[in-house]
Structure 1
Amino acid sequence: MHRAGQSAADTPLLRVSRPVSACSRCEFNRSSAGKQRANIVHTGRAAKIKVRRNSFIIKCDGKLPACTACEKSGRVKECSSANDQFAKGKERSYVASLESRVEKLEKRLAYAKLRKASVAMHDVDGPPTELPDRKDSLATIRAAIHGKAARKREAADVNELVSDFGFLTVHATTRDFEASTTNMTFARLILSATTNDKVPEPRSLQLPQRFVATTLIQYYLDNIFALFPVFPETALFNAMDKIYQGGSQPVTDFEYWIFYMALAISSTAQSRSNTDAYYHEGVSWIGRALTYADEVLVPGYVSQIQALVLFVQYAMLDPAHFDSWQLIGFACRAIIDLGLHQDLPKEQQTDKNAVDMRRRVFYCVYTLDRSISMVHARAFAFTDDSSSVAYPSMPVTVLNRDRKDSVSGPQSMETAHLLWQLRRAQSSWYQELFQSSREPLPQGSNYIWRMCQEMREWSDSFPDSLPLVFKDYFDLELLYSYVYCLAPSCRVHVVSDYAKGLIFEYAIAYMQKIFPISQDPINTAFYTYHDALRVYFVGSQLMAVLSNNQDQLLSGIAMSYPPAGIGSPPPMPPPSINGTDSTNRSLNCIHHIKETLRTFGQRWEDSKALLSSFEAQAEPVIASLYMRKQLIKDGSPARHSPPYLQQAGYDQRVYHIKNEWADVNPVFNNPNMH
């Protein structure tokens, strides 16, 4: 019987789930013969034993009961669990656990009563509500349990996926992410990380006419492959032959990839607008190529790196769809994981052609990584100290002249070899000036003169057989490198007046060369969206020096050479200058920068943002230049810039320019820069 006013929940009957036999806790002096078992009911720490059939004399010794194993084996007195020393706060008392459970239930019951009273107080004025049906309550609890389980499964799936990503960033050669084992393939990971805008499905699955494909392949070989010979030329020829033979020979996924990628790169490279036929055809071909991505971009093979190089080349031409910086990062990771950043030991270099191809793959990735990282003002994927690869040999490529197609590739790798040498020089000073530290560089000017002298010697080594389109391409790279190396950096904060004059002259020389190339209706060499970034950078440096040193730069007085230290290289000479006065040259250069960015804006939308940013920088400088021209025309001495032109410090101005550059596009964010 329960007490009046108390429910069953208030006075729970806690029964021991097992009968207690004669144990060390209680000594039974039985008054009757035979062994009897007593059923006990515990109501507290002291046990009251209710004897149903016989009267027992009970004396509790206060010890713990022996374990079941000792009871069965007859070693009750030897049981260690009943040892007083062991029992000092370390045993798991059954009675204590029951009491603890009772206390928890009492607290929960009191809390439930309190909540019920609170709810009743708030609802006293409201209409009476029916108590929820027990079945509904159970259904709600069951739904909550299922929902919690579903959330746990989802969280586990997300954690597993994230752990997969983390594993891939360390081991890009893993074979555990193939379509046969999981839905997460390495190709899908790459595409999800590098896609800016999804490529539409290809409009047609038909092959282009063979002469059209031949023309596009020829363009690729002449203008892009000559700079990045990442696979043998015969691989591209064989792929085209097999594809157009109508299935008489099996075609691998990699052959489909390089064929469609070459078509996509060639079409997009010849585009003049993002609305013309060349661009749309390029997007269509890239869509066809991506259907083979799962099989081609499988990690652990050199073919994956070759496929990624082609992907990077297309991304440089189509930044609206793909991020070239992310793609080249994947390629560099694969290079390191496969060990291509180190030459094989001499005893393993048995196949000369294989060694040369291995080196060519490395330097193609190296060249793209250095170029892309510099235009985005970001750190390289790996340093020069971590790699040790000799240049590949430059054999003359002998092609089969009996081919019925009029396709002929480059006869040597001289062009690619020159580009590799330039990227080595750029990588050296870029790491030293921008990526090594922020401590001022001792004798920074001497270091810059030495780097510029090395690049100048590189330009003097051009062979006479170098095609004109690549000579112009390399001249632009050289002028851009001069401006970049002379500009303020993390280790050379203060730029001398002579260096500012060189920036002024080389920036104008750069624009005089790239402006006609940008206006040419026929695209040659390999000019990409990154050239728009270079134009913007050079223009920003020009605005910086004109904002602070206009009087010195436009006075017409020849620059005097600074004294050279003992054992240091001489300062770099300025380029040849025509007879036009510096004020008009500055205005013409600013006009060329605007028109070049406007032309590039027809191909790449991001170039329009670059143009808007540059126009904001150039507006006060243009007003100052026109005021200067008017003063010269009126015969007044123009010794000083107009008072409304802000004379900010050059270093501060460059810092401001780089911040604006970073705001134009998120890819410019770089914590390692100023």
Structure 2
Amino acid sequence: MHRSSLADTPLLKISRSVSACAKCRKGKIKCDAKLPACTACERAGCEKECTAANNDQFARGKERSYVAALELRIEKLERRLSYARSMNASVALHGPDEPPAGDPSRKDSLALIRAAIHRKAARTQENADINTLVSDFGYLAVNTTTRDFEPSESNMTFARIVLAASTNDPVPEARTTNLPAEPTARALVQFYESNILPLYPAFSGTSLHALVSDVYQEHPRPIRSSEYWLFWMVLAIGSAAQSRSRRDEHYLNAVEFVARALPHADRALKPGYVTQVQSLLLLTQYAMLDPAHFDSWHPIGFACRAVVDQGLHQDPPHGQQMDPDSLDARRRAFYCVYALDRAISMAHARGFSFYDDAISVVLPSPFQASTPFSGAGPVAKPTADASVCLFRLRQLQSAWYQTLYQGNPTEPLPDAASFIWQKYFEMWEWSERLPASLPAAIRKMLDLELRYSYVFCIASSARRAQVPAYGRFLIFEHVIAYIDGIYDVANLAVNAAFYTYHDALRVFFMGSQFSAVLRDARDLLLTGAPIPPPLSSPGTVQPPPPPVNRGTGDNLDRSLRCLERVKLTLKLYGERWDDALSLMESFEATSADVWNDLTTRQATRMAVPTEQWQPLPVA
């Protein structure tokens, strides 16, 4: 049945209770509004403090069902909408001429709407009324599984909402309509399958190679828009991941491939299908490589909303029979979204899209993955499933990040030292269990993630403001190891793992933490004297042992080399991403006092005769 307007019959889904109690609202916890106290308050032992029981509107005997609550709201909104339409009809009789009739193209539709608003005062009034009506629905969560965003029904589709929110600079128009040479396409697909798909296996490599074969057939089968989106976005990601400069051929080709994918966005991002989640994941991955055109924060947010609305954040009930392979594929799709959400949120120091308490999904089964190639040549020997290793690390990161950075900042964490040492030990234990068959490049990337996680977990936060001397020593050592590793990666001709713009953000974070510990405990760290772990009470978690120092030189030389490499790494990344140069300039400004002091100490030391100077011991 044809619908004249989205505002007439909105298809919205309630995904939260009508009225949350005060405690759940303050803690941003999902509230089921159960009486006499909600489940969250019952678990916390705060039944008497739950305001759901004191809310007269929803008190026992006066409960309102979701349907009843919506009926009252809809009745009110229908009256206001009717009034707005009558006022618009009245104004239209005396207003200026209507814009020319016709069927505007999708490309120009938004521009024509904006122009019409300026030409006709009645349109302005109508938009204001409709915006008021929409704001009254603000307490309802958007249901991304609705089929109401159809291109045939409305000029505004879900894909256009996603792209409008995610786009920084518009993507230039495609320069050609021809397919790239088949060897070129297969090489990019192979790069994606070897270096990115093992970490984020939202779809199978077999299906990807089959799609490439279908696209290059002389008489190809009918190919769906979601498949074209997959084809072009994989080429774009594979090309952008090999770029070394925003002016090189790899980057220019990546932008071209994205331009070829965008016309298929309406169908590829169509809500309610697993292909929507896969398509949003690809858009997020590309945005992480091309922040000039896309902001990765928004597409990963839409992807999280999609997996929740499709129920992928919960395993199927035990009574529901499901093929093991299909169940693993479902779990992998969820954890790909989960892993990217955690990584992006931490890099930007923002909150996660959903809490771990809302998730009930078992990690997918590890499998021995190989890197097949449809062309000639030997097949690589099987390697361990790197994705499950990455998913487990994201779970460990999520646990302490939620507690330290998303908890109530006004409530200090009780026994923070034991909590942090426990999380440190869990991450160390994870690293010790990594399979020996992991590819060297992926193992290197996971080791850098581990160093980054150590520093992030130990660093000062709102719930744990003071870092002990031993914690500063651990940060000092892990930052140096991280910067040495990422500096080598940044200088490689081709990255053999998934490194993105967020690695520039991590370099800036690690460099800032390094400057902070030197500023707070410079003399203690530069002497190189052993810093013993703090004494712990019996029965509490013991601090970790000091990391093994594999560097050369004393701590003064190591510190200067680390600060220099932070700037050099950000400069290298600045050739690919403009924002990395801004990070470099900001780091130089904030670390100038530390740099000047260290260079002065070095000059003073060099002025001392060699026979009177002995190198300081290294911890």
Q: Displacement of 1:206 after TM fit?
A: 1.0
Q: Displacement of 1:477 after TM fit?
A: 0.2
Aligned to 1:567: 539
Aligned to 1:583: 556
Aligned to 1:256: 228
Contact 1:473 1:525 in 2 (8 A): yes
Structure 2 unaligned segments of length 5 or more: list them. Answer: 1-90, 99-119, 614-619
Aligned to 1:545: 517
Q: Note the alpha carbon deviations across 1:567-615, whole angstroms, 9 max, x for none.
A: 2222122222245111110000011000000000000000011000000
The within-5 A match list for 1:204-603 is 204-396=176-368, 403-404=374-375, 411=382, 414-438=385-409, 439-577=411-549, 578-603=551-576
Report the count of equivalent residues: 498
Aligned to 1:18: none
Aligned partners of 2:362, 2:337: CA distance in 1, in Å? 14
Q: Displacement of 1:633 after TM fit?
A: 3.4
Q: Note the alpha carbon deviations across 1:434-464, whole angstroms, 9 max, x for none.
A: 1021211111111111101110111111211
Aligned to 1:616: 589
Aligned partner of residue 199 in structure 1, secondary structure: coil
Q: Displacement of 1:432 after TM fit?
A: 0.6
Which residue identity does 1:314 align to in structure 2?
Answer: Y
Q: 1:151 to 1:256 in 2, by over 3 A?
A: closer
Q: Displacement of 1:227 after TM fit?
A: 0.2
Aligned to 2:174: 202
Aligned partner of residue 381 in structure 1, secondary structure: coil
Q: Note the alpha carbon deviations across 1:527-556, whole angstroms, 9 max, x for none.
A: 000000000000000111111211111012
Aligned partner of residue 346 in structure 1, secondary structure: coil
Aligned to 1:129: none
Q: Displacement of 1:169 after TM fit?
A: 4.6
Q: Displacement of 1:150 after TM fit?
A: 4.1
Aligned to 1:14: none
Q: 1:209 to 1:410 in 2, by over 3 A?
A: farther
Which residue identity does 1:254 align to in structure 2?
Answer: S
Aligned partners of 1:407, 1:610: CA distance in 2, in Å? 43
Of residues 589, 595, 598 in structure 2, which corresponds to 1:625?
598
Aligned partners of 2:429, 2:370: CA distance in 1, in Å? 31
Q: Displacement of 1:326 after TM fit?
A: 0.8
Aligned to 2:35: none
Aligned partners of 1:399, 1:507: CA distance in 2, in Å? 33
Contact 1:242 1:250 in 2 (8 A): no
Q: 1:411 to 1:162 in 2, by over 3 A?
A: farther
Contact 1:271 1:278 in 2 (8 A): yes
Aligned partners of 2:95, 2:445: CA distance in 1, in Å? 67
Aligned to 2:68: none
Which residue identity does 1:603 align to in structure 2?
Answer: R
Q: 1:436 to 1:150 in 2, by over 3 A?
A: closer
Aligned partner of residue 196 in structure 2, secondary structure: helix
Q: Displacement of 1:237 after TM fit?
A: 1.5
Q: Displacement of 1:369 after TM fit?
A: 0.3
Q: Note the alpha carbon deviations across 1:489-509, whole angstroms, 9 max, x for none.
A: 121111101101111111111
Aligned partners of 1:400, 1:532: CA distance in 2, in Å? 32
Which residue identity does 1:420 align to in structure 2?
Answer: F
The within-5 A match list for 1:66-105 is none
Q: 1:536 to 1:400 in 2, by over 3 A?
A: closer
Q: 1:301 to 1:407 in 2, by over 3 A?
A: farther
Q: TM-score, normalised on structure 2?
A: 0.76
Q: Displacement of 1:163 after TM fit?
A: 7.5
Aligned partner of residue 257 in structure 1, secondary structure: helix
Q: Note the alpha carbon deviations across 1:392-431, whole angstroms, 9 max, x for none.
A: 1123458988x55669689466100100010000000000
Aligned partner of residue 283 in structure 1, secondary structure: helix
Kindly report the root-mean-square deviation, in angstroms, between the aligned alpha carbons of the 2 structures: 2.5
Moved more, 365-374 or 341-350: 341-350
Q: Note the alpha carbon deviations across 1:173-197, whole angstroms, 9 max, x for none.
A: 1111111111110000000011001
Q: Note the alpha carbon deviations across 1:343-389, whole angstroms, 9 max, x for none.
A: 00122132112111110010000000000000000000000000010
Aligned partners of 1:420, 1:261: CA distance in 2, in Å? 23
Contact 1:476 1:510 in 2 (8 A): yes
Q: Note the alpha carbon deviations across 1:143-199, whole angstroms, 9 max, x for none.
A: 5899654443343455577789x5995211111111111111000000001100100
Which residue identity does 1:437 align to in structure 2?
Answer: N
Q: 1:634 to 1:395 in 2, by over 3 A?
A: closer
Contact 2:384 2:435 in 1 (8 A): no
Q: Displacement of 1:618 after TM fit?
A: 1.8
Q: TM-score, normalised on structure 1?
A: 0.70
Aligned to 2:150: 178
Q: Displacement of 1:480 after TM fit?
A: 0.4
Aligned partners of 1:226, 1:398: CA distance in 2, in Å? 9
Aligned partners of 2:263, 2:384: CA distance in 1, in Å? 32
Contact 2:384 2:438 in 1 (8 A): no
Q: 1:605 to 1:168 in 2, by over 3 A?
A: farther
Aligned partners of 2:148, 2:210: CA distance in 1, in Å? 31
Aligned partners of 2:286, 2:459: CA distance in 1, in Å? 30
Contact 2:312 2:331 in 1 (8 A): yes
Q: 1:410 to 1:391 in 2, by over 3 A?
A: farther
Which residue identity does 1:270 align to in structure 2?
Answer: Q
Structure 1 unaligned segments of length 5 or more: list them. Answer: 1-138, 639-674
Contact 1:218 1:409 in 2 (8 A): no
Aligned partners of 2:178, 2:380: CA distance in 1, in Å? 26
Aligned partners of 1:272, 1:321: CA distance in 2, in Å? 17
Contact 1:214 1:405 in 2 (8 A): no
Aligned partners of 1:499, 1:303: CA distance in 2, in Å? 45
Aligned to 1:651: none
Contact 1:168 1:174 in 2 (8 A): no
Contact 2:404 2:462 in 1 (8 A): yes
Aligned partners of 1:246, 1:189: CA distance in 2, in Å? 36
